[in-house]
Amino acid sequence: MPIILRLDRVMADRKMSLNELSEKVGVSNVNLSKLKTGKVSAVRFSTLEAICEALNCQPGDILEYRKD
């Protein structure tokens, strides 16, 4: 898959746990875990916006495109 999710790296940089991010974003741990491991096929812009706000980052910090 050419889209790589870097949520785990950004969370580690910010020293934020999955539980803490879940509380701040209002998304379940299960859904954030799937996002973190790349086991999703779509992300709502509202969720991406909330994650970026909670982590003080840009969407490009979380999502990366890598040509196969």
| Span 21-67, pLDDT tens digits | 999 999 999 999 999 988 988 999 999 999 999 999 999 999 999 98
- What is the C-alpha separation between 4 and 23, in angstroms, rounded? 24
Give the SS3 label for residue 56.
Answer: coil
Q: State the pLDDT at residue 1.
A: 62
| pTM (two decimals) | 0.90
Domains along the sequence of the chain with CATH: 3-65 (1.10.260.40)
Residue 10's nearest CA partner among 65, 66, 46, 57 is 57
